[in-house]
Amino acid sequence: MPYTCANCGKKIKDFAGFVRCPYCGSKIFTKSRPNITREVSTD
């Protein structure tokens, strides 16, 4: 599952042994979620 860097906004698939953005060096990431809408019954 890809992650997005909170600093530069680039998507990162794999971390090569350490958890830092290879582009800017930031340690803050957000998990990319699929854009799926769910319908929930309220009955």
The 10s digit of each residue's pLDDT in 5-40 is: 999 999 988 877 778 998 999 999 998 888 888 889
When pLDDT is cut at 50, 70 and 90, the band that residue 43 belongs to is: confident
Distance CA 4, CA 36 (A): 18
Residue position matching structure tokens 């990319």:
32
pLDDT at 4 (0 to 100):
93
Q: Which residues contact 24 (CB under 8 A, 6 or more apart)?
A: 5, 7, 8, 10
User: Alpha-carbon dihedral of residues 12, 18, 24, 30, nearest 10 degrees?
Assistant: 50
pLDDT at 38 (0 to 100):
85
